[in-house]
Structure 1
Amino acid sequence: MKNNVFVLIILIFLIVLCTAGCNNSVDKNIVETAKKVEILDNKFASCLIKYDDYFNSIKPLFSSIINEEKHIERNFIIPVENLNKAEYEKAYNFTAENNFKQYDAQVHISGVYEFKSLKNVYIKKVVTPRDNESIIPYTVVKKYNFAKEDDEWKIISIERNFHYEKPLRNEKNIFSEEPDGKPIEYKQTIDPFEN
């Protein structure tokens, strides 16, 4: 009898250990996905990656409900009308020929936060435009929402807001706190142009 209880305790311990290890692996992959999207999006918004390379890399990371138009729309704070592959490639060629870079950025990435059936990653990107005379530095805050789709965690939406380094009014960073009232903990910082 004692042997059976001992075996049962070991079995429960191993199941708990395996589940925790699998969850850590899933969370690590989710954070890496958000990081990869930030790198790709910054390169795309700056015309530093070819159009097809961007879309071939980005599409598998998102839910099937996100189309090409939505990817273009979410990449630019100011809407860009009629951006198509040919227009983008012209800008890409100009950028490549002139070694042109519009801004510098630091991207702060949180760990995974769970909310109901979603997993979330928070991003805070501090943007410093190279043309400081006409554009002032600003911060973009994002909340990546992941859901399971076909047994994989995919991005279903990205909520975002931006504010200036020196708030113009009483602007509030809408993602500065988690629903439980605790501040978001950013665990890593990257330069999206160095990757």
Structure 2
Amino acid sequence: MRLIILGPPGAGKGTQAARICQRLGIPAISTGDIFRANIKNRTGLGQQVEAILATGGYVPDEVTNAIVDDRLTWPDARDGFLLDGYPRTAGQVAALDEMLAARGERLDAVLELTVDEDAVVARLLRRAEMEGRIDDTEVVIRERLAIYRRETAPLAEHYAAAGLLVQVDGMGEVDEVTERILTALRVGQS
């Protein structure tokens, strides 16, 4: 399966992506993880991304598109993948469509985790404390949520119009959310 998972920062996309991918036998491709690894290793890309993330902004499309295009060529993504954190903008949607079309592939579904915004802020502040993530201050979190609403949430409308959107309640216990997602995917495949 070729999937995208959407939802605001802190919706549990990374947690659910890992669980879904394990069950489906496909790789989870997280642009956030790729960026954080580059930051940790102090690469040129990492230093560029660190400065952007520190202000709550998003990495430019051309950088993100190139990273995703390269990652989709890896052998483990041949039979499917789940994209987490990409696409975030209409330009990235168009770029992804072009990447997939060039390979003779298409998306099977786009999952959208729906959550309560105040609960997400609290969740991200706890995660920041536990993981020492410098990009998760309350001011930055609220800016990232505003950017999500403005730039990324409209993608759900695009994918709904294309018949690909599967909305799932992202609130509750991790296992419950995973089962809701898997059930929704089975329903979407019938």
Short-chain TM bin:
under 0.3
- Which is strand-richer, 1 or 2? 1
What's the TM-score, normalizing by structure 2?
Answer: 0.27
The structure number with the bigger radius of gyration is 1
Which structure would you say has the larger RCO, counting Cα contacts within 8 Å and 6 or more residues apart? Answer: 2
Higher helix share: 2
TM-score by structure 1 length?
Answer: 0.26
